[in-house]
């Protein structure tokens, strides 16, 4: 009974922290991008102030806006933050989480061609087309990442199982491969799915509360993308519920993991790499080779 209560408390704390901190990671990415461009960064917390100001304007919130927020909020309950000792951590499969986060864009992809005003907006239509291209590159990469987990550690139940089992058996090849997989995902998502500016082009007519909800949904989804990449690249920094000291350390370093990935996203975006999908494919190939080498040497 105590174990269930502890897992429930960790679950609630994880959801609350991710929902509260989501706009702050957008601030981190924009601040690092501004510094790289030699510009002055906006004050920390600017994104939250924009969302609150939009909410206070009133107006109705349509179905499409709420539909972008719900899958992102569900992802916050599944992805492990400080510990895998939560109620839903066993569902944290990279492909499932990725599809859930892509579902946050689906209402906007449907809305653009169905809205008479947006149908005439070239930028909105172009943004949808580019995000579809991103999705076509991203889904196979997420599927490969889930397959690497299953091959490198047979019987593992996603990221939670990896964290629980990695200390009991050698999985250095798998953990190295997941770093490459995380870098590949980062290269694909940094240009479109994590850009707050590009997101606004998908809903140029939204105002007031509707724009606030859309922006907040984007920020929560962005935070989950960052957490997914952090969990893949740094699983050893999460607590597995075995010892209290490890769990406390996992919670303490969780903001640092997210901030590091957010800063890396901004750096990569600032460098503007050519053909990021090609580089992502190279990282994916390296991940496959590492896992296969690990299995052959076992």
CA-CA distance, 73 to 85, in Å (whole number)? 19
CA-CA distance, 261 to 208, in Å (whole number)? 31
- 3-state SS class at 87: coil
- Would you tell me how many other CB atoms lie within 10 Å of the CB of residue 193? 22
Q: pLDDT per residue over 20-76, tens digit each? A: 999 999 999 999 988 988 888 888 889 999 999 988 887 778 888 888 899 999 999
Q: pLDDT per residue over 235-270, tens digit each? A: 988 877 667 777 788 889 999 999 999 999 999 988
Helices (H), the chain: 2-36, 46-56, 63-78, 94-102, 106-114, 116-119, 122-152, 158-165, 172-189, 196-200, 208-233, 244-271, 276-297
CA-CA distance, 203 to 112, in Å (whole number)? 8
- Would you tell me how many other CB atoms lie within 10 Å of the CB of residue 109? 17
Q: What is the dihedral of CA 272, 284, 202, 28, to 10 degrees?
A: -60
For the whole model, what pTM was predicted?
Answer: 0.93
Q: What is the mean pLDDT of the chain?
A: 86
Sign of torsion over alpha carbons 54, 59, 65, 69? positive
Q: Which of 257, 266, 283, 218 is nearest to 80 (CA)?
A: 257
């Amino acid at each position: 009974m105590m174990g269930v209560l502890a897992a429930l408390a960790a679950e609630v704390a994880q959801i609350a922290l991710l929902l509260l901190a989501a706009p702050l990671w957008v601030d981190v990415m924009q601040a690092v991008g501004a510094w790289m461009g030699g510009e002055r960064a906006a004050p920390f917390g600017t994104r939250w102030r924009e969302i609150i100001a939009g909410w206070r304007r009133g107006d109705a919130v349509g179905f499409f806006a709420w539909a972008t927020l719900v899958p992102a909020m569900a992802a916050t309950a599944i992805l492990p933050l400080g510990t895998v000792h939560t109620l839903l951590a066993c569902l944290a499969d990279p492909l499932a989480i990725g599809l859930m986060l892509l579902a946050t864009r689906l209402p906007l992809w449907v809305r653009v061609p169905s809205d008479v005003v947006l149908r005439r907006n070239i930028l909105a239509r172009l943004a949808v087309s580019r995000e579809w291209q991103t999705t076509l590159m991203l889904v196979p990469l997420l599927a490969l990442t889930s397959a690497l987990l299953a091959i490198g550690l047979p019987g593992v139940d996603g990221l939670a199982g990896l964290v629980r089992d990695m200390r009991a058996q050698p999985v250095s090849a798998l953990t190295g491969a997941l770093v490459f997989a995380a870098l590949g995902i980062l290269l694909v998502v940094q240009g479109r799915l994590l850009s707050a500016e590009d997101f606004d082009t998908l809903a140029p007519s939204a105002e007031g509360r509707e724009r606030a909800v859309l922006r907040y949904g984007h920020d929560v989804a962005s935070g989950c993308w960052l957490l997914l990449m952090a969990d893949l690249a740094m699983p050893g920094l999460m607590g597995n519920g075995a010892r209290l000291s490890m769990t406390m350390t996992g919670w303490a370093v969780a903001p640092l993991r997210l901030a590091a990935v957010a800063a890396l996203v901004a750096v990569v975006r600032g460098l503007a790499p050519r053909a990021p999908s090609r580089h992502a494919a190279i990282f994916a190939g390296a991940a496959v080779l590492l896992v296969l080498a690990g299995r052959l040497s076992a």
